[in-house]
Amino acid sequence: MTKKERADFVINTLNDLYPTIPIPLDHKDPYTLLIAVLLSAQCTDVR
């Protein structure tokens, strides 16, 4: 098994075990996702 075949096997196995999980933060594009992450981190720091 070549390195590429082994890497493909590992990636496929991980994709089967851990399917795509939706991001729970409300966002429309990458910029609003970044802002949501920053605000959520800031919110938990104060507590």
**What does the pLDDT look like over 9-38, one tens digit per residue?**
999 999 999 888 777 777 789 998 888 888
Domain that holds residue 43: 23-47
Structural domain includes residue 28: yes
DSSP the chain: --HHHHHHHHHHHHHHHS------S--SSHHHHHHHHHHHHHHHHH-
Report the number of distinct structural domains present in the chain. Answer: 1
Q: What is the pLDDT of residue 33?
A: 87
Q: Is residue 13 part of a domain?
A: no
Does the residue 17 lie in any domain?
Answer: no
14 part of a folded domain? no
Residue 43 domain flag? yes
Using alpha carbons, select from 4, 43, 9, 2 the residue that is nearest to residue 25: 43
User: Is 10 within the bounds of a domain?
Assistant: no
What is the per-residue pLDDT for 11? 95
Say if 7 falls within a structural domain: no
Residue 34 domain-assigned (yes or no):
yes
